[in-house]
Structure formats: C-alpha cells, structure tokens
Amino acid sequence: MEHNIWQQKWVIGNWKMNGDLHGNNALVHKLRNFPVADKVCIGISPPTMYLLQVHNAVQIVLNNKIHTCAQDVSRFAGKGAYTGEVSAEMMKDVGVDIVLIGHSERSLYFNEKNDIQRLKIENVLNVGLLPLLCVGESLKEREDGREKEAVAYQLSVLKGLKTKNFAVAYEPVWAIGTGKIATKEQIADMHQFIYEEILSLCGKDVNIRVLYGGSVNDKNAADIFSVPHVDGALVGGASLKYESFAAIISAAQEA
Ligand code: PGA
C-alpha cells in the first residue's frame, strides 16, 4: 500500500448481494480512467463469488490502488469440513485486503453477535488482513436514547486484540438503504464517541479510521466528509453505479 491508509479518507463500496461477471468488469474498468485520488483509500466489496474477479480487474487500474474487500468471512480458520464456508486464509490467498465484520444485515439475517464477530476478527488478523467492524444502533435504541450504550457494546469486541489498527464503520441501522441520513450533529457526536471508546479500550498508540455508512450518495457525501472524525464512507446502493461512486471518491479527495 503506497500511501498511508491511516491518513486517507476511505471510500468502500459494499455491493452486498449485487453484481454479475459482465457488470462487475464494466464498473471496475471505468475506474481505470479515474483521476488520481491520492487522499483516498478506495475499496470494493463484492460478493465472495466475485472477489477473485474484482481483485484481478483492479490489478490493472492505472491511477489509484483499489483494495479488494470481503463482505464477511468464516468464523472457522484454515481448512476443514465446514460446508459452504470461506476462510480468512482463502481470502488472503485470492488477494483480499480488508474484511467487513458484523454488518447489521449479518446480525439481522444470520443472528451474528459479538461472540461470532470476535472469532471472525481474530481469523482476519491472524492472516494479516484488516477487519472493518460495522457498528450502529437500531431505530428503537436511538429513540430510547440508548444509541451510545448499543455502540459501546458492539465496540467491546475490539478489547484485547493484538493489533494497533482499528477500522470501524458507524452505520445507524435506520439509515441503511432507507434514504434517511443521520444529521451532521448525530454523526459528529457518535464518531467522536467511537474514537474515545477505541482509545480507552485499545490504548493511545493506535491507528483509527471511523467511516460513516447509511444512505451515503453523491449528493450528501461532501457534507458528511466535512464532519469531524469522519474518515470516509461505507457506501451501499450508491457504489453500484460508476457515476455516483466516482462522485463520492471525488468528494473524499476534495474534503
Ligand atoms: P446504503 O448501505 O448505502 O445502501 O444505505 C450502506 C451499508 O449497508 O453498508
């Protein structure tokens, strides 16, 4: 990694369960001509099936390094009789750099909580990849004024990890895919809280990136990037089209 990613804004496209061979190639190849964005750490997180395709395609991107990111990883390490699973070792083998852990959709549909997230984070760290932990409160927790309590509990999985590098995405569940966006005050408040929590859980001598996620698009990105302690964005829907994803990268470069 040529630039220090801990000083860059990160823009990571979470494709979720979207994409196909033809469309993925077209999208990544358009990024080939994207102007230099040296202040941005760009990542693409396709479905597991397409990790190798995306990794191979981004090797020929000329101007910017594009990181290959996985959306999830097995709780099991190495190899073994775990039908349907893909290990962190395999992800490293095909060129993955960053692995999303604990996205709220994993929690909602697969009931993944802190204990499983912790196993996954350790597997990712053990093979030298970077986990990106997703946290965020539900609408009910926000309405009850318990948003920080909820996020603090989710962040507690980071305690005692053998790493100095902590990447977190704050994604209020009520803002994901809904078009609702947290206010700048809500974002600033929570991002500062997450910084303080990481520093108190993991020590002062650490690298931190806290990304915002939830309905980030080409219209609101510049505004969000202007909020203190916002170190980038995890982008779902708007990462599926070149024009909107490129505009968000540009906004990060200019922030
Ligand atoms: P969205 O998704 O940008 O479509 O709201 C973000 C995410 O879930 O990572």
Dist. CA 32–CA 63, nearest whole Å: 7
Under 8 Å between Cβ of 46 and 53: yes
Q: Which pLDDT belongs to residue 36?
A: 84
Q: Which pLDDT belongs to residue 198?
A: 97
pLDDT band at 107 (very low <50, low <70, confident <90, very high): very high
- Spell out the alpha helix ranges (H) of the chain: 21-31, 51-58, 88-93, 104-110, 114-126, 139-143, 147-155, 184-202, 221-225, 242-254
The mean per-residue pLDDT over the stretch 235-239 comes to 97
Q: Which pLDDT belongs to residue 65?
A: 86
Dist. CA 241–CA 255, nearest whole Å: 21
Q: Which pLDDT belongs to residue 35?
A: 86
The mean per-residue pLDDT over the stretch 224-243 comes to 97
Start-to-end CA distance of the chain, whole Å, equals 21
SS3 content of the chain, % helix, strand, coil (to 5): 45, 15, 40
Q: Does the structure show a pLDDT above 70 at 24?
A: yes
The mean per-residue pLDDT over the stretch 23-28 comes to 95
Catalytic residue among 103, 105, 141, 229: 103
Q: Is 171 a catalytic residue?
A: yes
Residue at 214: amino acid letter? G
Substitution candidate for ligand 1 out of 133, 180, 224, 235 with most atoms within 8 A of CB: 235
Residue located nearest, by CA, to atom 2 of ligand 1: 236
Between 31 and 110, the higher pLDDT residue: 110
Domain 3-254 has CATH 3.60.70.12: no
Domain ranges of the chain: 3-254
The percent of residues above 70 in pLDDT, for the chain, comes to 98
Residue at 140: amino acid letter? K
Residue located nearest, by CA, to atom 6 of ligand 1: 236
In this structure, the strands spanning 207-213 and 98-101 are unpaired
The percent of residues above 90 in pLDDT, for the chain, comes to 88
**What residue has token string 């499983």?**
116
The mean per-residue pLDDT over the stretch 203-208 comes to 93
Q: Which of 26-30, 33-37, 98-102, 233-237 has the lowest mean pLDDT?
A: 33-37
Q: Which pLDDT belongs to residue 34?
A: 87
Q: Does the structure show a pLDDT above 50 at 125?
A: yes
Q: Which pLDDT belongs to residue 1?
A: 46
Partner residues linked to 10 by β-bridges:
41, 232
Dist. CA 208–CA 10, nearest whole Å: 12
Q: Which pLDDT belongs to residue 2?
A: 53
Partner residues linked to 103 by β-bridges:
none
The mean per-residue pLDDT over the stretch 171-193 comes to 92
The mean per-residue pLDDT over the stretch 65-77 comes to 96
Ligand 1 centroid, distance to 214 Cα (angstroms): 5
Vertex 47, ends 187 and 208: CA angle to 5°? 35
Ligand 1 centroid, distance to 240 Cα (angstroms): 11
Residue count of the chain, please give it: 255
Q: Is 103 a catalytic residue?
A: yes
Q: Does the structure show a pLDDT above 90 at 177?
A: no
Substitution candidate for ligand 1 out of 71, 215, 240, 241 with most atoms within 8 A of CB: 215
The mean per-residue pLDDT over the stretch 194-210 comes to 95
3-class secondary structure, 40: strand
Catalytic residue among 105, 141, 147, 171: 171
